[in-house]
Structures are given as structure tokens and as C-alpha cells.
Amino acid sequence: MVSPSALTIPPVFILSTGRCGSTMVSNILNGHPQVLSLSEFISYIGIRSLSRRRPSGDWMWDRYSRQRPRTRLMLRARYEELLYPLDDPNARYTQDDVPPILCATLPHLTERYEELYDELGPVVRSQPKQPPADHFRHLFAWLCEQFGCCTWAERSGGSLLFASRLLLEFPEARVIHVFRDGRETAISMSRHYLFRLVAANMLAMRSYGFDAMKSLARGKHWERLSFWLEPLAMVLLKPERLPYDRLTLPYFGTLWSAMIERGDRMLDRLPSERLLNLKFEDVQMEPDVQIRRLIRFIDPALEDEAWLREASAIPRPTPSKFDHLEAAERDALTEACRLGLERLGYAL
């Protein structure tokens, strides 16, 4: 198995609030012949996979191959990033047993995802006891070897929620921070099952005396708290009983702004050579320029004109939903997003 140190270019995490164009960036990189684009790996596996100190390869394979409550919730919602064809009568797995790593990560890489899954099991299980991040590194390096890639870029929706933990575990990684006008992002969040679930959980936690929104924006120990909050919420807060009726557009604006505030505090500590800020609207307006910036940030040697031409056709103009709101709704949502908008330089 190839050693992670054999990869010649430092890896990348594509971080975002979600609902802001990070999937587009993942798809752009997926077409590059030398970049392994890992889509929704952390989302489906769960950040709690990093909680064990020195797990065995067998333990890690169990995380990759067996569903847990988080994965089941995502599957119940038919999360749009689900790439495994559950409706195909010839599919090996069903919604009840599809392995987390097969939900999106492997189908994103190849059409022979089930064969790849079978090949991967012995590779993962043969690994010695070591920190989970080292298991991830070896998995990603093995996949790079299979696909002829020299680096990897992982993207999971809403990754700013657990970004500090990722960068702690992967100090060699660099960051592409993808963001979009928070008002448009908040509207998209409000119509998305998983973000509605997250927001409703945060509201419900108030009844237990915990202000999750404040902790997210300013708390120093959000990642540590979130490690036990997720399983605790699964026990205490039944999804069907959450206060969805109390969710408003401004509340999603506040959630977006809290994520941006936390992300800005964290990313501000990175040296400039480890951070690329990528504005969704800029990629739409000048895709060739921004995608060239993107690949040069990963490594200038990866510039590929044929890939650039194909990748520049991926971004598409997106009509504004914010402009169609009533004036009072626009004002309330703008106020809720104010701190995040100001941090990112958007006009109010």
C-alpha cells in the first residue's frame, strides 16, 4: 500500500457552511486527472470517527461499512448528495444497509463503486492500530494510487461545523473556503431537510439550558461539545418531535452567520499559503479565472488547459431567491446575516 508521505502535494479540505457551491467545487476537481475528489466522506462516516484514540483497521472498516443514526437520518431524507442508486433494482444494497462510504464517496470516484468497495475492505482491515487520522491518510493514499492522483481534496457539506477538529488532525492540510451570500444560503438551508434538522435541534436544546448557537459562534470547545451532543440529541430529541414550526428565515440567517463567525476566527489563524477564499458568485461570473486560481492554489504544476475548459462549463448562473422575498422579509434576513455578511465583504 502506498504511504501517505509518497503523495507529492499537500492535501486540501474544502470547507463551507453548506448550500453555497461546495458541491460544484467538488465536481470541478473530480474531473482533474491528478486530484482525488472525496465527496461527503466525513458527512456519511461522521466526525465521531476521529474520537477513538488508536483504533484497529477492523474498527475503522466497521465505521465505513455499517450505518449509524447519522447516516440513517441522511438516507431517510434522501440527501441530494446521495449517489448510490437505491432505486436501481440491481443495486446490491438498500436504504437499510448501504455502507456509509458507498453513499457518495466511492460512487463519486467511479462507476465500479461496488467492486472498489470490495477491494477496499481487506486494505482497510489490514492496517495496524493507529490514530483515526492516520487510517484516513492511508485510505486516501491507497485511493490516490488506484486513480493515479498525487493529492486529495475532501468536501463535506457544512464542514465549518467541525473544521477545527479536521485541521487539528491534519496540520499538513490546506483549506479552500467556499462561501456565498448568506441570505441566499439561508434560504437554501431553510428548504433542506438536514439543515432544518440541525436548526430544530439547536432550538430544542435551549429547553435543556444549552445555547448551541452561541456556542457555535463563540465557544472555544464547540468541536468537543459536538462530539457528545450529536448522540445525546439522538436519544433526547426525536426528529419527528422537533420544533420545526418555530424555524424562520432569520433563524437560518443567524445559523449561517454563526458558522461564518466561527470559521472566520479559525481560518484567520492560517497563513495565506494555506488558505484560498473562493466566492461562489465570482466562480459563476468568471469561471475560467477562478478555477485557474483554484488549481494554482493546490499546485501550479496541476494546471491543465483541457481540464480547465471542461471545468469552466460546470458553473451555471443561479437566479436569486432573496430578491423575490417581501421587503420586510429581506430586511429581517439581512439583519440576521449582518455579522457574517460584513466579515465576508458583502454589501448590505
Is pLDDT larger for residue 150 or for residue 212? 150
Residue ranges of domains in the chain:
8-344
Judge whether residue 305 has pLDDT over 90.
yes
State which of 41-50, 66-75, 236-245, 286-295 shows the largest mean pLDDT: 286-295
Percent of the chain whose pLDDT exceeds 90: 77
What's the CA gap between 251 and 190, in Å, rounded? 9
Query: Residue written as cell 452561541?
Result: 214
Judge whether residue 236 has pLDDT over 60.
no
In 3D, which of 92, 98, 57, 90 has the Cα closest to residue 74?
98
How high is the pLDDT of residue 237?
Answer: 62
Judge whether residue 238 has pLDDT over 80.
no
Contact indicator for 84, 104 with CB cutoff of 8 Å: yes
How high is the pLDDT of residue 168?
Answer: 93
Residues 6+ apart with CB under 8 A from 41: 101, 104, 105, 154, 156
pLDDT in tens, 131-149: 999 999 999 999 999 999 9
Judge whether residue 296 has pLDDT over 70.
yes
60-87: b (≥16 Cβ within 10 Å) or e: bbbbbbebbebbebbbeeebebbbbeee
How high is the pLDDT of residue 309?
Answer: 98
Judge whether residue 21 has pLDDT over 60.
yes
Judge whether residue 46 has pLDDT over 60.
yes
Q: Average pLDDT for residues 42-53, to the nearest whole number?
A: 92
How high is the pLDDT of residue 178?
Answer: 98
Is pLDDT larger for residue 6 or for residue 134? 134
pLDDT in tens, 70-102: 788 888 776 678 999 999 999 999 999 999 999
Cα-to-chain-centroid distance, residue 246:
26
Class of the CATH domain delimited by 8-344: alpha beta
How high is the pLDDT of residue 71?
Answer: 87
pLDDT in tens, 98-134: 999 999 999 999 999 999 999 999 999 999 999 999 9
- pTM metric for this prediction: 0.95
The dihedral sign for the CA sequence 49, 51, 57, 62: negative
How high is the pLDDT of residue 14?
Answer: 98
How high is the pLDDT of residue 242?
Answer: 85
DSSP 127: P
Specify the DSSP element, H or E, that contains 277.
Answer: strand 275-279
234 pLDDT tier (thresholds 50, 70, 90): low
Q: What is the mean pLDDT of the chain?
A: 92
